[in-house]
Amino acid sequence: MAAVTASALTAQLRKLREETISQGPQKIEPNRKDATTIGVSDEDEQALSEMLQTLASQQNRKQSELLAQIDRALARLEREPDMVGLCEECEEEIDERRLTLRPYVTLCAECQAAHDPKRGHTRKSLTDYK
Ligand SMILES: [Zn+2]
């Protein structure tokens, strides 16, 4: 019995989506002058500015990946509302705590691990030794 309903999960996803969007893309401010850059050489400042830009773009990428996942989950809910809370691959129930934490997941922990190349490999070799 899935305790999660399609409408509840959709509402949760929409909220998360709005929150993610409202955080907006990280502003990249090259060569900003503030407490962190006072007293550092131009070279250090350049390095710091590059680091900040890298961090910002990493964060932006994570954010757009998350949004893509949310959209995908929302589309799936609309397409197959009966499949709410069920794994896209094995159709087993996804752990409820997992869904509460990440309402955008569409795979159970096991299938997800199989998709994760590193962990999937570990699982495979563990089975091989049995
Ligand atoms: Zn599964």
1 is a domain residue: no
Q: pLDDT category, 112, cuts 50, 70, 90? A: very high
Rounded Cα distance, 49 and 65, in Å: 24
Rounded Cα distance, 126 and 99, in Å: 27
Which residues are in the CB-under-5-Å shell of ion ligand 1? 87, 89-90, 108, 111
- What's the chain's average pLDDT? 85
**Range 106-124 average pLDDT:** 77
- Of residues 32 and 113, more confidence is placed in 113
Task: Provide the CB-side half-sphere exposure for 102 (13 A, CA).
Answer: 13
Q: How far is the CA of 93 from the centre of ligand 1 (A)?
A: 8
| pLDDT for residue 2 | 52
Q: Kindly state the tokens that stand for 40.
A: 């550092």
Q: How far is the CA of 83 from the centre of ligand 1 (A)?
A: 12
Structural domain boundaries, residue 66: 6-128
Phi, psi of 93 (to 5 degrees): -70, 135
Domain count, the chain: 1
106 is a domain residue: yes
**CATH code at position 61:** 1.20.120.910
